[in-house]
Structure 1
Amino acid sequence: MTIFSLFLFPSPPSLFIKSMSLLSFLSLIAFGYMEMTGKNAQYAKFFYTGSSKKSKNSENRKMLSKYGMLVSYTPPFIACLAALAILPRQDLRFNMVSCVLTLHFFKRILEVIFVHKFSGFIMVDTAIAFGVIYFGSTSTMIYAQYLSLGLHEPVVDLKYVGIVVFLTGIIGNFYHHYILSSLRKKGDREYKIPKGGLFDLIICPHYFFELIMFIGVSCISQTTYTLCFTLGDIVTLMGRSHATRKWYVSKFGETFRNDIKAIIPYLF
């Protein structure tokens, strides 16, 4: 017995799932590296909005960020609804995974419509690409869970712990998104240093709680694919938060406190 068998389902006999596990992990690590090195101008608002070199062709291929986010989040939400409708009578763990993923993307869509304040743009092809990526990763997460049905359960059952961790993450993520949305009043386009909640310790607490949320999903799922996706997502968000902190330092200079970290309080 290995340590992995204590916490994970046996890997299903699926070349697709094994390949997707490796691909998701490596691609998300690559995204994290790109975020950290600033090679993300086409989709990160802090870099794209400050770009001075915009061709007429690129101007024609962009949309408001609000609509871009809806394009990105709607496909995985539909995938979750389809899973609940087509495969409604599976075991408890499968239903839990499908429900928390559905709740996650439903929350994101509601936040885009009612909470977030957008002032920038996103490239159309980038929004579509993110929609495809989110759809693919979410569908694969659910499919990997489906293939685990009937396999030996992990020795250590983490699904109930995962629910608590997930709810902590999704509530904390929403709370800090609400704080961000409250910074700017209607018509105000100026960026401000956020305060309140964990913003006094880290500049991206919404990412911090998103990590907690997906750690919760991994604990509920306990499949290799979901674990690989979560580990890759951690690297991606660490890179994005590093780039975000760097932007705040460059914009606000000495006004920005040096002791505020990027995403992990007191550490990073």
Structure 2
Amino acid sequence: MAISSFFFFFLFPPPSSLFVTAMSILNSVALITAGYTEMNGKNKQYAKFFDAANSSRKPKDHKLASRNGMLLFYTPSFLLGLASFAILPLQDPRFFMLVLVLTLHFFKRILEVLFVHKFSGFMMLNAATTIGSSYAVSTATMIYSQYLCQEFAEPSVDLKYVGVGMFLVGISGNFYHHYLLSNLRKKGEREYKIPKGGLFALVICPHYLFEVIGFIGVACISQTPYAFSFAFGTTFLLMGRSHATRKWYLSKFGEDFHKDIKALIPYLF
């Protein structure tokens, strides 16, 4: 069996859309490049390593509270998911499942921003707008790609229920470790601490690990080339970010940080 035939044994054929093809390539390249740059110390402006107040940004650059910036990340994609139910109703079960899990993913993020995470400081408005727009475009492209693939026969191997299971594991594990992080500092405290509980004894970023699991689940529900390219790129991005996070903890806490704790994958990375 040819490699391409084996590949499409599990996936829909690529839709005849230049936009989706271009986005598959651009997203993968952009996410992998972002992961590489973060691994080498060029961190995103909403990461713990970035201090907007002390950055080299020009005074005219607008800032907004971190909580509002995070809401700007996720709200457009959540609204896109809701709109898809109204604009593209009565589609096949796989399409419905994909839109549902994407909408739930961003709804959960919004709830965490409002009720779980603790914020201090500010972020740049242009950075928040760029990241929110990127999430929205990626979400819309994933939904559009799935919509186009409904004209094709189903892949020989049906992974959508496996994907639902992985998504539920991912979103639950991600929320649990976000909750543990939110409880590290009591009210009024601003100092960083080494996280404990859950999988923090094995990796410093278990919330990223479960996010990867969740997006692989989304890709399995979708079974489109775009969804898998996005999951692949996201994995590389979070590998870079978790590596940078581990390096930051080592520099800040020194010998108090256990050297056997990996960045993302227990015992491996």
Q: Same fold (TM over 0.5)?
A: yes
Name segments (4+ residues, structure 1) moved above 3 Å: 50-56
1:50 deviation in Å?
A: 8.5
For the residue of structure 1 that corresponds to 2:8, the secondary structure is: helix
Corresponding position of 1:193: 194
Q: Is the Cα–Cα contact under 8 Å of residues 65 and 123 in structure 2 kept in the other structure?
A: yes
Residue identity (%): 63
Aligned pairs (5 A) from 1:77-92: 77-92=78-93
Find the aligned partners of 1:113 and 1:173 in 2 and give their Cα distance.
16
| Counterpart secondary structure, 1:192 | coil
Distance in 2 of aligned mates of 1:76 and 1:56: 29
1:1-268 correspondence runs (5 A)? 2-40=5-43, 42-46=45-49, 48-49=50-51, 52-54=54-56, 57=59, 60-268=61-269
Secondary structure of the corresponding residue to residue 183 of structure 2: helix
Relative to structure 1, the CA distance from residue 61 to residue 51 in structure 2 (aligned partners, 3 Å threshold; closer, same or farther) is closer
Is contact 1:173–1:205 with CA below 8 Å preserved after alignment?
A: yes
Q: Report if aligned partners of 2:52, 2:121 keep a CA contact under 8 Å in 1.
A: no
Report Cα offsets for 1:121-159 as digits up to 9, x if no partner: 211100000110000000000000000012011110000
User: Would the alpha carbon gap of residues 231 and 8 (structure 1) be closer, same or farther in structure 2, given more than 3 Å must change?
Assistant: same
C-alpha separation in 1, matches of 2:205 and 2:53: 22
| CA apart distance, 1:37 | 0.9
> TM-score if structure 2 supplies the norm length?
0.96
Structure 1 CA distance for aligned equivalents of residues 44 and 14 of structure 2: 37
Query: What CA distance in whole angstroms lies between the structure 1 residues aligned with 2:48 and 2:38?
Result: 12
Cα distance change, pair 144–56 in 1 and its aligned pair in 2 (3 A): closer
What's the CA shift for 1:52?
A: 4.5
Tell me if the contact between 1:10 and 1:152 (Cα under 8 Å) persists in the aligned partners: no
Q: Which amino acid aligns with 1:125?
A: N
Amino acid of the residue matched to residue 224 of structure 1? P
* SS across alignment from 1:66: helix
**Is this contact kept in 2: 1:81–1:102, CA < 8 A?**
yes
Given residue 46 of structure 2, which amino acid in structure 1 is its aligned partner? Y
Kept in 1, the 8 Å contact 2:45–2:52? The answer is no
Q: Residue by residue, what CA displacement relative to the aligned partner does 1:145-174 show, whole Å, maximum 9, x if unpaired?
A: 000012011110000010001000000000
Gaps of 5+ in 1: none
**In structure 1, C-alpha distance between the alignment counterparts of 2:173 and 2:45, rounded to whole Å:** 28
Counterpart secondary structure, 1:183: coil
1:100-138 CA deviation, whole Å, 9 max, x = no partner? 000000000000000000113211100000110000000
Instruction: Tell me the CA shift for residue 39 of structure 1.
Output: 1.2
Distance 2:139 2:54 in 1: 36
CA contact (8 A) 1:45 1:120 kept: no
Letter in 2 for 1:105: F
Q: CA deviation at 1:41?
A: 5.3
Residues 187/25 of structure 1: CA separation in 2 closer, same or farther (3 Å cut): same
How many residues end up aligned between the 2 structures?
266
Query: C-alpha deviations, 1:82-116, integer Å up to 9, x for none?
Result: 10111121000000000000000000000000000
Alpha-carbon distance between aligned partners in 2 of 1:138 and 1:24, rounded to the nearest angstrom: 11
Contact 2:203 2:265 in 1 (8 A): yes
Letter in 2 for 1:87: L
